[in-house]
Amino acid sequence: MKKRIIISLFLLLGLASLAIFMNFDKSVEAAYLGAGMPDGTNYQTLRYMDGQWFPSSALTNNGADIVASGSITADSFIYLSDRTLKDNIKVLDNSLEKIKNLEGVSFTWKDNGKEEIGLIAQDVEVVVPELVVTNEDGLKAVKYGNIVALLIEAVKDQQVEIDELRQELNSLK
């Protein structure tokens, strides 16, 4: 148990040092999923704000962006989506057409030679610019999680077409 607490403290100090080194002027959130946190609990979320780490239960604030290269593994990614935080809510239109204009590709990353599949941000930006983010260096990224809304509406559009074709087919019988 003592060894776990020491390791946990070193991990916590490492996260704090990283946040300070990266000169966060906002808050950042880090989840530690290991056993043996100093207070004896598992699955704690910590927030770094104003030079200090706090348990997330102690704060409610806006977080900072976290940029990582490599893999991030989690049991779930949770997107804030409460209606009370949104204005001008409209159902997406032409979703099926937009999906048909996106192109899934296979590719190899230049830096490590790893083969992947995905989308090309510049191509997505032409079809659905809301799904693309450009950083200060001009590199583009795709908000893959937000594609779900487009896919849901595209499936609904397809279902309307299927129902119409089914009705037409039944009328021919």
Question: Are residues 90 and 146 part of one domain?
Answer: yes
pLDDT at 65: 64
* Residue 140 dihedral angles phi and psi, to the nearest 5°: -105, 145
Q: Is 111 helix (H, G, I), strand (E, B) or coil?
A: coil
Please indicate, yes or no, if residue 81 is contained in any of the structural domains.
Answer: no
Tell me, yes or no, whether 41 and 98 share the same domain. no
Q: How far apart are CA 16 and CA 32, in angstroms?
A: 12
What CATH number should be reported for the domain holding residue 125? 1.10.10.10
Query: What are the percentages of helix, strand and coil residues in the chain, rounded to 5?
Result: 40, 20, 40
Q: Are residues 90 and 156 in the same domain?
A: yes
Helices H / strands E in the chain, number of each: 4, 7
Among residues 58, 78, 97, which one ends one of the domains?
Answer: 58
pLDDT in tens, 87-121: 999 999 999 999 999 999 999 999 899 999 999 99
Q: What is the CA radius of gyration of the chain?
A: 22
pLDDT of 138 higher than 50? yes
- 152 and 113 both lie in a single domain: yes
Alpha carbon distance 47, 19 (integer Å): 10
Note the pLDDT of residue 72: 76
> Which residue range forms the structural domain that includes residue 29?
2-58
What is the count of structural domains for the chain? 2
Asked if residue 71 belongs to a domain, the reply is: no
Residue 92 is assigned to a structural domain of this protein: yes
